[in-house]
Amino acid sequence: MSIGRSVLLVCLACLPISAEVRLPSLFSDGMVIQRNSNLVVWGSASEGEAIRVVGSWNNQPATTKADAHGEWSVELNTPAAGGPYTLTVAGTNTIEIKDVLSGEVWVCSGQSNMEWHLAWCGTGPAIKAEIDAANFPDIRFIDVPNTVSPEPRTDFKGAWRRIRPETAANFSAVAYYFGRHLHRELGIPIGLIGSDWGGTPAESWARADFLTEFAPFTESLDRLRDARENSESFAKRVSRRLAEWQQSIDAKDPGTAESWYATTFDDASWDTMALPQNWEDKLLPNFDGIVWYRRTVAIPSSWVGQPLTLSLGPIDDNDVTWVNGQRVGGLSGSGDWSVARHYTIPATATKSASLTIAIRVHDFHGGGGLFGKPEQLRISCDNEENAVSLAGDWKFHAGPKQSALPTRPSDQSFNAHTPTVLFNGMIQPLVRYRIAGAIWYQGESNQTRARQYRTLFPSMIRSWRAAWNQGDFPFYFVQIAPFRYGGRPESSAELREAQLLTLDAVPNTGMAVTMDIGNVSDIHPKNKVDVGERLARWALARNYGQSELVHSGPLYATQSVEPGRIRIHFDHVGGGLSTRDGKAPSHFYVAGGDRQFHAATARIDGDTLVVQSEKVKNPIAVRYAFTDTAEPNLTNREGLPASSFRTDDW
C-alpha cells in the first residue's frame, strides 16, 4: 500500500460516519405483531441519533437515541387483533412499514419434518387442491435461512409473506396447517416464523450456557468460544471467503464478462428448455456447473414503473438473477437448493412493458436448475391479484463445468450438528420479538441418545424461554412417528418416552402424538394436516379459551398391579378409551420378575385398561408399542392416539 493511500485511509477513519436508520428483517411490510402486548422495536443508527417510532394504531410515539454502538430500541403497546396498520421509524431517514397486522405470532422450528414443505406432501390432485386453496391473506410467515454461527446473530435475510398458493407451497406444511387451524377457529391474523433445518439435533438449537452440564459437548463449546474470541469474527471470515470465491467464479464465467444478463445481448443461438425442470433429467445429463437462462416477457401497462415481485420457485443450487440488466437477487448458501426465490424488481427496472430476465444457476451436484411447480414461476404486482406466468420455454446456455470452477469454501470446524450454532444463527435473531409461543418437530436426529434427550430437550426449551424473557411461554412439540431406523428396535420408542417425560419435567408444554399417522418406510410421513391441527388443539385448549376441547390422546399416568393382571390409568381419556379399528387394543406386553416381556391382551374397562398374559402369572410391568415400528390402535373416542409407553425403566 502506498504512503498516500495509507494517509487517506487514516483521514477517512477520522471523519464522522453518518449511518442511516436500519431495522432487522422481522420489521418489514406485511409483518404480524403480537396482539395486546408490547412490541420491542430495535435497530441501528449513528451514535446519538434521535429515533422516533410510532404505530398508526394509537399514534403515540416512542423516542430514544442510539447508543455508543449505534444500537437503539423502544417499546410500543400493541392493539387487539386487527389491521392493517403502519409502523413508522424516523431518524435521519424515515422507514414506513406497511400492512402491519396484529394477531398471534408463533415460532415454528425443528428438523426436516417441520421443514417439510407443503408441496412435498404428495404429487396427486389432493395436494394440488390443498395448495390451490391456500389463500389466507391474514396468515403471514417469514422464514429464517439456514445459518450456522458460533456467535449470536442479530438479524437474518427474510421478508414477511402472505399465505397464497405460490408462497404456501414452499413453506412448512406443519406450520401452515397449524396456523390455518388457529386462523379458522379464532378469526384473527396469525404470524408464523419458520426456523428449521433438516437432520439437525436438539443441541444445535440450545443456547450455550444451558449445555455446560453435558460433558459430550464441552470440546465443541470450547472451540466455539475460541472462534468468538478471534480478532476476526467467524461470520466476517465466512462472508469474506464467500465474496472472494464469488469473484473467482465471475472470473471463470464468460457470461459475466460478456454481460449475458444485458437486454442487448443476443441469445438467438441458445437452445430452448421448458421450465420448471432439472436440466440433468433430459437436456444436460450429468452436468454440474453453471447454466444461464434468459427470457423476455411482457407485463401489463399498469405495472410499468411499479416495483414487482419475481418468483422462481426453488433453484438447485445457487443463483444470481437480473431483470433488464439490474441484479435483483441471488442466493449462495450451501443449503439454499430448496429455498423458493422471491425477488423484488425495483421500479427502475420496469420502465417499459418488456422485461428481460437472466438467471445464472450454479449447480454443485445432482439435478440442477429451476425445479419447482409451474405456478411458482411468476411475476406479480402487489396491487393486483393477477400474475404473469413464467412457466414454459426459456433460452439456456451451459457455461463452465464444476470441474473447471473453484471449490466453494467452507469452515470445517462447525456445521449444523455443532452444539448451539443454530441457536446463534437462527433463534437468537428472533428473541426480542414478542411471540405467543413455539411449536417444535424434532427428535429423529437424537433417537440413538434418548437417555441424554431426557435432560437435553428440557434444557433446550428452558434456554429459549430464558432468551425470550417472556416467562414460560407455550411450547408444543410433536412426538416422533414410527419408523424403521435399523438400529436397536427400541431406540425411537425410548426417544418418544423422553418426549413424554418432558411434559412433566417442563411446565406449559404439550405433545402431539403421531403413532397412527407415521410410515415405517418413510421418515417423512406425508400426513402433515393432522400434525399441525393436533398442535393447534393444544393451543386452542390451553391458550385460547377452548378448555373443553379434547386436545390429546391418552397418556400413561400410573399402573396398579392386581392378581394376574395390571390396570393402566391414563390422562386425557376424553370421552373414553377406544381403538381406531374397533378391535381390541394392540401391541401390549407384560413382564414378571424375570423381566422377560410376553405378548399380552388388553381390555378396556371404563377409563382404564386391564392387561394380562397367560405366560406371566405375576406381572409387574407393561409396555405399549415400545418399538421403532409399532403402529398400535389405542385412542380416545375423539380419535386422538395414545402415546407409546412403558411402566418399567429397565
pLDDT of 3 higher than 50? no
What are 131-168's pLDDT values in tens digits?
A: 999 999 999 999 999 999 888 999 999 999 999 998 99
| Distance of alpha carbon 613 from alpha carbon 250, whole angstroms | 72
Let me know: does 193 contact 141? Beta carbons within 8 Å. Answer: yes
CA-CA distances (angstroms) from residue 396 to 251, 310, 339, 360?
20, 19, 22, 10
What are 410-428's pLDDT values in tens digits?
A: 655 688 999 999 999 999 9
Let me know: does 556 contact 645? Beta carbons within 8 Å. Answer: yes
Domain ranges of the chain: 250-404, 555-646
| Distance of alpha carbon 598 from alpha carbon 594, whole angstroms | 11
One-letter amino acid at 496 equals R
pTM of the entire predicted model:
0.81
pLDDT of residue 17: 44
pLDDT tier for residue 234 given thresholds of 50, 70 and 90: low
The phi, psi pair for 481, rounded to 5°, reads -90, 165
What are 490-515's pLDDT values in tens digits?
A: 999 999 999 999 999 999 999 999 99
Rounded (10°) angle between helices 450-468 and 491-505:
40
pLDDT of residue 373: 86
DSSP-assigned letters across all residues of 491-509: HHHHHHHHHHHHHHHSTTE
Q: What is the mean pLDDT of residues 252-264?
A: 94
How crowded is the C-beta side of 422, counted as CA atoms within 13 Å? Answer: 24
| Distance of alpha carbon 255 from alpha carbon 13, whole angstroms | 37
Q: Which CATH architecture has domain 250-404?
A: Sandwich (2.60)
How are beta strands 475-478 and 437-441 bridged, if at all? Answer: parallel
What are 67-109's pLDDT values in tens digits?
A: 999 999 999 999 999 999 999 999 999 999 999 999 999 999 9
DSSP 22: B
